Amino acid sequence: MDVDEAALARLYKDFDAEHMIPLWTQTGELMPMSPTSKALPHVWKWDTLLPLAERAGALVPVGRGGERRAIALANPGLAGHPYTTPTLWTAIQYLGPNEVAPEHRHSQNAFRFVVEGEGVWTVVNGDPVAMRRGDFLLTPGWHFHGHHNETDQPMAWLDGLDIPLVHYTDTGFFEFGSDKVTDWSTPDVSRSERLWAHPGLRPLSGSDARPSSPIAAYRWEHTDRALNDQLALEDEGHPGVAGPGHAAVRFTNPTTGGDVMPTIRAEFHRLREGAETATKREVGSAVWQVFDGEGEVTLGEKEIRLGRGDLFVVPSWVPVTVRARTRLDLFRFADTPIFVRLHQYREETTR
Ligand code: GTQ
Ligand code: FE2
């Protein structure tokens, strides 16, 4: 076919003037053979994050308006947005001695993971929940929450939310609550745990399936014991649960047996010294934090050393392998439940 180049140029110019874009110039990026995330594999060192959060603590007040002294881990591939992945926000949040972050609620789902420290209570729908090292805490969408530090020591922890997903899909709602918090008591165990956090048991009332787990805090002693038992069973000749020398658990919603919140999956992994995970790639994105120990991770072509508190991001379909130099404990969260529910989930174990 002879192409009239001048006519073609006029056509593209007229498409542009009418806000039209032809498919045939776009397919490579729009419909790739497999996911090609703009997000990049990246690592943030806890030893770098914490002093920066401390400096924010000295300079930036916490209160109504700004709401939280939280600093996002911004993926270097995502053009300056405060997003760790296309769906997930990850931040270090810092609360100084006796400070209070006021109550609010939003449609975004949130969790906290505590890598060190204690002394803050997060009050979730009026239920005070203690935060301590190793605990995994939930603030599901539209639950009121505020935080208060009852000690003269600062505390920093990890926040994970589905802020980018809610932003891109225009589904966000937000409401202010109490200017302080609604319950100042400081129990060791929240009411939600007393009702819901007994292994294999659920209260007979209110036992319909809920979209998010009613357990406000998954305590380190339970997670640690489950992982220890998996490795002890392997010592006794039973196969390792996630692979040789690799113990793993998923945090679940006791009303469904599924993930803790509609958009976020959370897990804990323990590798014996010298062990490594299978190499796996998955649809959707994940973030890992080293809870304890040392090792390294291979992300696609990239190899990165890991120490306590370090965080790394795994973009969609990038193969990940974690190796343990010492016994290595890692917290992991991902957006998997979204893609499982949309029937878009795929995974591949490549080695
Ligand atoms: O603690 O309520 O990192 O609303 C981002 C948004 C934390 C929180 C974040 C939030 C919070
Ligand atoms: Fe919040």
Residue 66 lies in a domain: yes
Which of 289, 292, 346 has its CA nearest to residue 319? 346
| 99: its two tokens | 């400070």
What CATH number corresponds to the domain at position 255? 2.60.120.10
Residue 313 lies in a domain: yes
- 78 within a domain of the structure (yes/no): yes
Burial grade of 113 (CB within 10 A; 0-12, 13-18, 19 or more): buried
Does the beta carbon of 120 lie inside 6 Å of ligand 1? no
pLDDT tens digits along 195-236 = 999 999 999 987 799 999 999 999 999 999 999 999 999 999
Is 29 part of a structural domain of the chain? Answer: no
Residue 215 lies in a domain: yes
Distance CA 266, CA 218 (A): 11
Is 162 close to ligand 1, i.e. is its CB under 6 Å away?
A: no
Q: Which of the four pLDDT bands, split at 50, 70 and 90, describes residue 27?
A: confident
**Distance between CA atoms of 156 and 203, rounded to whole angstroms?**
34
Ligand 1 pocket, 145 CB below 6 A? yes
Supply the pLDDT for residue 28.
Answer: 82
Q: pLDDT category, 350, cuts 50, 70, 90? A: confident
Nearest of 141, 99, 149 to residue 124 by alpha carbon: 141
Residue 15 domain-assigned?
A: no
Please work out whether the CB of residue 143 comes within 6 Å of at least one atom of ligand 1: no
Reply yes or no on whether the pLDDT at 286 is more than 90. Answer: yes
Return the best residue to mutate from 49, 62, 64, 68 for the ligand 1 pocket (most ligand atoms within 8 A of CB). 68
* pLDDT tops 90 at residue 1: no
Structure tokens at 211: 């979209």
Distance CA 140, CA 214 (A): 9
Contact 270, 328 (CB under 8 A): yes
What does the pLDDT average to over 339-348? 98
Mean pLDDT for the stretch of residues 109-115? 98
Helix (H, G, I), strand (E, B) or coil at 11: helix
Number of residues that this document lists for the chain: 351
Instruction: Tell me the residue range of the domain where 115 lies.
Output: 35-350
Over residues 89-118, the mean pLDDT reads 98
Residue 284 pLDDT > 90, yes or no?
yes
Is position 107 within any domain?
A: yes
Which residue has its alpha carbon closest to ligand 1 atom 8? 68
pLDDT of residue 2: 82
Q: Domain count of the chain? A: 1
Mean pLDDT of 138-151: 98
**CB of 156 closer than 6 angstroms to any ligand 1 atom:** no
Residues whose CB falls within 8 Å of the CB of residue 191, separated by 6 or more in sequence, listed in order: 127
Check if 159 has its Cβ closer than 6 Å to any atom of ligand 1.
yes
Give domain status of residue 143, yes or no. yes
pTM here is 0.97
**Considering only CA atoms, which of 156, 152, 118, 121 is closest in space to residue 139?**
121
Query: In angstroms, what is the span from residue 202 Cα to ligand 1's centroid?
Result: 29
